Amino acid sequence: MNGQRCAVYCPSFCVTDHVAENERHLVDVTHESTVLDLLVPRQDGSVQLLATARVMASDAGSEDERRPIIAVDFEDVDSLYLLPSEVDAVAERVAAFEGWLRALGKVAADGAIAV
Ligand SMILES: [Zn+2]
């Protein structure tokens, strides 16, 4: 880190390669879990990424600011136009994503690996 070797203590959910990230200062260290993707099938056989979710925590700031949070990013702001025949498959993916979100909440709350 900034030319110096130092120890970074990661929470159990962290999969970040801090050596590769080469953060310059300890306050720049962010711990991140595996990213979960909400992919929905399309009529043409492709899949569309709607959202991602992951647990994140920073080593900087107050105790409250260092608590793990769940980041949900929406990758595509375009509308998703579904045929009636596509709704069930998409709804199943959304329901699964709901379960994954709850699992990430547990990971952030107690540091367990549940994903
Ligand atoms: Zn880490």
- The secondary structure of 26-92 as a DSSP string is GGG-EEE-PPEEEEEE-TTS-EEEEEEEEEEEESSSSHHHHS-EEEEEES--S-----HHHHHHHHH
Query: What is the per-residue pLDDT for 2?
Result: 66
Distance in angstroms (rounded) separating the CA atoms of residues 77 and 108: 27
What is the pLDDT confidence band of residue 1, given thresholds at 50, 70 and 90?
A: low
Q: From the CA of 92, how far away is ligand 1's center (Å)?
A: 32
User: How large is the average pLDDT for residues 16-43?
Assistant: 86
Task: Report how far apart, in Å, the C-alpha atoms of 103 and of each of 58, 75, 109, 115 are.
Answer: 20, 21, 10, 7
Higher pLDDT residue, 115 or 94? 94
Q: From the CA of 88, how far away is ligand 1's center (Å)?
A: 38
Angle subtended at Cα 98 by Cα 11 and Cα 90, rounded to the nearest 5 degrees:
130
What pLDDT, in 10s, does the model give residues 79-112? 777 778 888 998 999 999 999 999 999 988 886 4
Query: What is the per-residue pLDDT for 22?
Result: 77
pTM: 0.75
What pLDDT, in 10s, does the model give residues 40-71? 888 888 888 989 999 999 888 888 888 899 99
Q: From the CA of 68, how far away is ligand 1's center (Å)?
A: 12
